[in-house]
Amino acid sequence: MRGEWWRTAAIYQVYPRSFADGNGDGVGDLLGLRGRLPYLARLGVDALWITPWYRSPMVDGGYDVADHRDVDPLFGTLGEAEELIGEAHALGMRVLLDIVPNHCSDRHPWFQEALAAGPGSPARERFWFRGGDRPPNDWPSNFGGPAWSPTGDGEWYLHLYAPEQPDLNWNHPDVRDDFERTLRFWFDRGADGFRIDVAPALVKAEGLPDLAGYPGYLPWKDQEGVHDLYRSWRAIADSYPGDRVFAGEIWLPDPARLARYLRPGELHTAFNFAMLTCPWEADALRAVIDTTLATHEPVGAPPTWVLSNHDVPRPVTRYGRDGAAFDSADYFARSHGTPYDEGLGLRRARAAALLVAALPGSVYVYQGEELGLPEVEDLPADALRDPMWARSGGTVKGRDGCRVPLPWSGTRPPFGFGVGRPWLPQPPGWASLTAEAQSRDPSSTLALYRAALRLRRGLTGGLTWLPAPRGVLAFARGDRFACVVNLSREPVSPPPYDGVLLASGPLDGGLLPPDTAAWLRLGGRG
Ligand code: NOJ
């Protein structure tokens, strides 16, 4: 494995409960994932990011952690986790875990202790408890409703997410010490790093001021103190051999603020959500690429490119709605269930895959993206598990539609996901989307991803924009490679080239059709 592997890595996101079910209970698990590691190695990814597998009541799909240093029995055992890490390494893949430091589960022993100990007790200082006959401030929960819930004994506690996810107080030394222990625990077991959940939210503005009238961005985000914290985490990672890394989940509107988390001695990388929130428009995408490169370069950090994850509608569906961009939870309320063109969405999603895979830096692939899965928007209400659904009073369907268990093989549900009934129903029409079916088809989205991930390993050098007609993105990497993406409504001539290395759809008499991308071999400039 190369040094500083994370600068160029293709990282595959595994959402374990929807990946593969090894024990037949309808929920994906470590046994299922271990059985599919060869598929991931064959796909050509350099690393896995595995979303939380820790002990959890699963109110928020495992992001409500009751014990950070054990595996939930739903997924398997700690021993299996260790074996999995070893097996992935043997196949040449690194393993990033997902650390959730902003909050824990209300079943976590600390929160239980705090509730039992009552108002004013030291046990409550590890969280944000406040007295009063109304919520202490006007902060909203990200899942709808207020960010404060009553304890029933005259106090309120803060939860930026569900009430079952109380926020931890990072001013408390126990909190800092315990998370350092957790980092070491998993580093000692071979983890190559962590994705950090809601990384900018850990430190809250002094005095917990109201949002209304707050002079900064948000009083619960991007506070200066959070940088000290990540510097101390970085020192821990650096004390281990073999390039252990952090990838911050950092949703911030200002890319310059994001880059501050990537200064030397802080986090290695951060998710670049600007690409994922961008509509399918050439000028807008080019602006995202330029800004990303310009803000990462001064801090010496590699950009990351992300099209999807377990929190956002899948690209096939997003891009199939003209002009639709995923900008916030409002997307679900606004666009969910409105008509879209799946064929168009798939063409664009495939072109987008070639675009991001060609850019300098590291790239993420969310499970099922390589199969071109659409968002499942017609899940019955009684199947929905995302807390957004209940918290919004049944108005926001939430994120279950991108978490439907993967189709692996066969012609009917559960499509080889396991033998039991999957925890979310799969659309009966997914037979042509299974990994098995796509493995046989050289024009499939799976084949495209395999080829792209293999070829991108050979790409080096920065990005140089090439002259291109309006609505077309064209850039070179070095002298011999160009990527051209046609976002216009007309077929276009690509720049002069020696050969087509890969294309997201067939070229038409030498012309690149709309919503198509091609990787070209250039003749070289001497
Ligand atoms: C971000 C995670 O990706 C999401 O799934 C989760 O609900 C929130 N953080 C809260 O942990």
The separation between the first and the last C-alpha atoms of the chain, rounded to the nearest angstrom, is: 32
Distance 197 CA to ligand 1 centre (A): 6
Sheet harboring 155-158: ordered strands across? 129-131, 155-158, 148-150
Check: CB of residue 501 under 8 Å from CB of residue 455.
Answer: yes
Residue 396's pLDDT is what? 87
For residue 119, count other CB atoms closer than 10 A to its CB.
Answer: 13
DSSP one-letter code for 69: E
Q: Is 63 touching ligand 1 by the criterion CB < 6 Å?
A: yes
Residue 276 one-letter amino acid: L
Q: Write b or e for each residue in 134-156: b if 16 or more Cβ atoms lie within 10 A of its Cβ, otherwise e.
A: eebbebebbbbebbbbebeeebb
Helices assigned H by DSSP within 245-358:
255-259, 273-276, 282-296, 315-319, 330-335, 342-358
Question: 60 in ligand 1 pocket by Cβ < 6 Å?
Answer: yes
Q: Is 104 in the pocket of ligand 1 (CB under 6 A)?
A: no
Closest residue by Cα to residue 78 from 50, 53, 42, 107: 53
Q: Which atom of ligand 1 is nearest to the CA of 160?
A: 10
Pairing outcome for strands 304-305 and 362-366: parallel
Q: How many CB atoms lie within 10 A of CB 77?
A: 14
User: Is the separation of the CB atoms in 45 and 365 below 8 Å?
Assistant: yes
d(CA 523, ligand 1 centre) in Å: 46
User: Vertex 58, ends 55 and 64: CA angle to 5°?
Assistant: 70
Q: What is the pLDDT of residue 334?
A: 74
* CA 424 / ligand 1 centre spacing (Å): 19
Res 1: pLDDT? 39
Q: Whose CA is nearest to atom 4 of ligand 1?
A: 311
Atom of ligand 1 nearest to the CA of 102: 11
- C-beta of residue 486 within 8 angstroms of C-beta of residue 513: yes
Q: What are phi and psi of 99, to 5 degrees?
A: -100, 140
Alpha carbons 186 and 205: distance in angstroms, whole number = 30
Rounded average pLDDT per 10-residue block, the chain, 526 residues: 83 98 98 98 98 98 98 98 98 98 98 98 98 97 95 98 98 98 98 98 98 97 98 98 97 96 98 94 97 98 98 95 72 80 97 98 98 97 94 90 98 98 98 98 98 97 97 97 98 96 96 98 72
Residue 88 in tokens: 């992935």
User: Is the Cα torsion angle 150, 156, 159, 161 positive or negative in sign?
Assistant: positive
Residue 506, burial from CB neighbour count under 10 angstroms (0-12, 13-18, 19+)? exposed
Ligand 1 atom having least distance to the Cα of 143: 7
Quote the ligand 1 centre to 485 CA distance (angstroms): 32
- How much distance in Å is there from the Cα of 63 to the middle of ligand 1? 6
Closest CA to 290 of 523, 473, 29: 473
Q: For residue 256, how many other CB atoms are within 10 A of its CB?
A: 11
Q: In the numeric block, which tokens belong to residue 474?
A: 């064209």
Atom in ligand 1 nearest the alpha carbon of residue 100: 11
Residue-by-residue DSSP string for 98-129: EE--SB--TTSHHHHHHHHH-TT-GGGGGB-E
Answer for the pair 361, 302: CB distance below 8 angstroms, yes or no. Answer: yes
Report which protein residue has its CA nearest ligand 1's atom 11.
63
- What's the rounded Cα separation, in Å, for the pair 21 and 39? 15
* pLDDT at residue 325, as a whole number: 72
Report the alpha-carbon distance of residue 17 to residue 500 in Å, rounded: 39
Distance, CA 126 to ligand 1 centroid (Å)? 21
pLDDT the model gives residue 2: 44
Helices (H), 127-253: 173-188, 225-238
Neighbours of 334 (CB within 10 A): 12
Angle formed by the axes of helices 342-358 and 445-456, nearest 10°: 10
162 CA from centroid of ligand 1 (Å): 10
Q: Which phi and psi (to 5°) does residue 476 adopt?
A: -110, 150
Atom of ligand 1 nearest to the CA of 51: 3
* 198 touches ligand 1 (CB under 6 Å): yes
DSSP-H helix ranges across 375-490: 387-391, 435-439, 445-456
CB 39 within 8 A of CB 390: no
